[in-house]
Every structure is written in C-alpha cells, then in structure tokens.
Amino acid sequence: MRTLRLREWSTTKGLALTALERDTLRAVLRATIQPTAGSAARYDITPGNTIGAVRVGDTTLLVEPKIPISRVLFLLGYAADPSAWRHDDATLAVAADLVSGVAALFTTLCDRALRRGMLAGYHRVEADLPTVRGRINLAQQLRARPGLDLPLAVRFDEHDEDITENQLLLAAALKLRTLSLRGGATRRSLHRLVDSLQNVTALTYRPSAIPAVNWTRLNLHYRPAVELARLLLRMQSPDLAPGCTETPGLTIDMAALFETFVRAALRDRLHANPAEFPSGDNCPPLALDAHRRVRLKPDLSYWPRGQCAFIGDVKYKRDTGPGHSSDLYQLLAYATAAQLPAATLIYADGPPEPHAHLIPTAKVHLYVQHLDLTKPPKDLLEQVEHLGLHLTTPDTKGPNAA
C-alpha cells in the first residue's frame, strides 16, 4: 500500500501519478496540478483548502492540515455542538493521523450518547400488510391494487430504535469504517458501534440533503454525536464520474469548517438561535440593487427581533493586517445592503491587531479581525469572545481607523 503525503497549501514537485490518481487529486481533493518542467510524466501538486485521505486502488492520497490535527478535531467538535466543548477537550489527544483522529472523536461522542441506552422514538411507517394496522392508505391502495382486497396499504406510527438520530450515527459509522484507520482500538469501537445499531436502517444520504434533528430534553444527550455525524456526512467525497462507485475517503473543506466554527462560536456567544444567526443560505433576503436582482448571502449575520444588527464575512486565508481589497469590497456591499454603519471581516490567520477602515462616502466602518487557529482551544475561544464583544459594541473611532 502506497501513501502519497501532501500538505495543505504546500507545493510538492516532481511526483509520478497514474491518470486516476491525478484526476482524484484534482476532482476530490481540489488540488492544483501542473506538469513538472522538463518532464512529461511527473507533476507539481499544490493542495488547496481540502484536507483528508482518499484511497485510489492501492494508493492512499493524504492531504495533511497546516494546523495541528488536534485543532481540526476541536473545530469539528465545537462546530457540531459548542455546549459540549465548553469545558471538555479530553477527546483531542494527539492522533496518529487526521482520519483516525476524526474516527476516534466520533466514536467517543457516540459512546457518551449511548451510555444511557439506545434512543427510541416514534416514526411513520407505510407498508403493505395482510391485516389493518393504523390507517388504510386509500390513495395508495387504489393506485397500486385497484379492485383487490389484500394486501392493504396502511400507515401507522412505530416506536423503536429506527429513528433519524440513530440512522445518522449508523451512516457516519459505516462511512468511517470504509477508511484505513490506524489504531486497533478505534477500529474495534467502530465495529461495536455498528453492531449496537443493527436494528437501525442503513441509509445513504446525499451531502446536500442531510436531515436536521429537532432537539428536546429527551434526545439532547445525542446532540454532539449526531451533529458531528451530520458534518461528516456533508463532507462525503464526490464521485469522479457518473456511474462510478463512491471514492472511499474522508475529506474536509477547511474553509467551510472555519466558517461553520466562527458562526457557531459567535452564535453561542450571543445566545442566539439559528434563525437569529443564520447561515448564508438561510439568511433573510438581502439585495444590493433597488430591483433586488443582485442577491447577497453573507457568511455572518445577526437578526434579533427580525432586524439585521450585524453583518460580516469569513475568509480562510492569511492576511497581513489591513485586509485584502476584494474582501473589503465584498464587505462594503454587505453593509450597504443591510443598511448598517459597520461590518466585520474575520480571517483565519494574521497579526493580532485589528484594523478599521472608514469609508467616508458611505459612512461605513469596515473592521478586520484575525483568529489564530494554532492556539489551544481555550485561547481560541477567548479570541472569539473578544470578537463577540466587538460585535455587540463596535468602536467606530478606533485608533486604527483609516
């Protein structure tokens, strides 16, 4: 078994690749590939934001993160459920590799969720039975078997373990079990988890159609594990071509993960719900023009009582201090559309000092903030706490205003 090790945003030169390995790096791991100068069979490879491992035949293509693996695991766990990570980073021990670390994190959260026993609940069942149970589905009966008495199309509620929460856990466990994992303990934990969910239907989810779960006091102890499962299932590797089988692997879009983490952390800091602090796709309609043809979807927005009180953007890249011009133009568009006097841009790397730019014609302040993802979880959350204070009480006359 060959392992090809690459690093996020670092160029590796002169690698020999098969056509399938080259195409997988480009399509699944989103790497930039250029022919090596002076060679027709070797390539220079620069991965982008996508990290993880994908197996192609006897070769594992591995893109390691530029930040410590433990920080990636923290971002995943916190983005899934901030409340579960406020005082607990015991599952962030140093992992042998990213994939094994993710699997270990997931099985640990599942063990905690299942400690009180398997969650059961009611779910709707539609079936063809020889006797009446629940209600007869007349429309289905007449459509499928007009003029026949049996079997009967019926609809009823079943109380068992085959519910959405357990189906999500099983789907994520089966996905992780297909990967090459280092560490027998993690593999055994995954097998035990799958065995414990044997009465649950194994479903295949499309990354864009992962079901949400309504959290109540009855199932809240499942939340860290289930929300992490939902994150992992959204990160499924795409197929290389129509009709081919799914590429075995786990990939993580660090830009999407960073955005999800920042949103979850600020939402937690403000004690806001998802409707008050939505994702970009769920943001209330914003448009830049009078005819509302230029629609905008900011990464961050806060809508207490239905009114936009804050707007911002997240960039998973390094900034030297004042912010990139194109990012500031985008931020100004958000502030203009929301009719706010300020907006905030958050980078994943850069100097600790914030910057502020006054746009005099628009009378808008653009703030530039930076998070250091190499810091331990406690320090990183303190940085977000600082951001939350700035968010609620912006200083429009800061010393760095320009």
Beta bridge partners of 313: 345
User: Token pair for residue 51?
Assistant: 């990290």
Question: How would residue 240 be classed by pLDDT, with cut points 50, 70 and 90?
Answer: very low
Residue 400 has pLDDT above 50, yes or no: no
Give CA–CA dist 146/135, Å, rounded.
Answer: 18
Q: Which residue has the higher pLDDT, 89 or 402?
A: 89
Radius of gyration of the chain (CA): 24
The β-bridge relationship of strands 310-318 and 342-349 is parallel
Give CA–CA dist 311/342, Å, rounded.
Answer: 8
Chain segment 311-348, per-residue pLDDT in tens: 999 999 999 889 999 999 999 999 999 999 999 999 99
Residue 309: CB atoms within 10 A of its CB come to 15
User: Token pair for residue 171?
Assistant: 């789907």
Phi, psi of 270 (to 5 degrees): -90, 0
Give CA–CA dist 308/302, Å, rounded.
Answer: 6
**Strand (E) or helix (H) holding 335:** helix 325-338
The predicted pLDDT at position 152 comes to: 74
Give CA–CA dist 26/12, Å, rounded.
Answer: 14
Give the mean pLDDT of 99-123. Answer: 90
Q: pTM to 2 decimals? A: 0.85
Chain segment 66-95, per-residue pLDDT in tens: 999 989 999 999 998 888 775 445 556 566
Phi, psi of 31 (to 5 degrees): -85, 150
The predicted pLDDT at position 183 comes to: 75
DSSP string across 12-78: EEEEE--HHHHHHHHHTS--EEEEPTT-SSEEEEE--SEEEEEEETTEEEEEE-SS-HHHHHHHHHH
143 with 157: CB under 8 angstroms? no
Task: List, edge to edge, every strand of the sheet that includes 355-359.
Answer: 300-302, 310-318, 342-349, 364-370, 355-359
Give CA–CA dist 284/8, Å, rounded.
Answer: 34
Name the DSSP class of 119. Answer: -
User: At residue 251, what is the residue type?
Assistant: T
Residue 75: CB atoms within 10 A of its CB come to 26
Mean predicted lDDT score pLDDT of the chain: 87
Chain segment 338-371, per-residue pLDDT in tens: 999 999 999 999 998 889 999 999 999 999 999 9
Question: How would residue 227 be classed by pLDDT, with cut points 50, 70 and 90?
Answer: very high
Name the DSSP class of 130. Answer: S
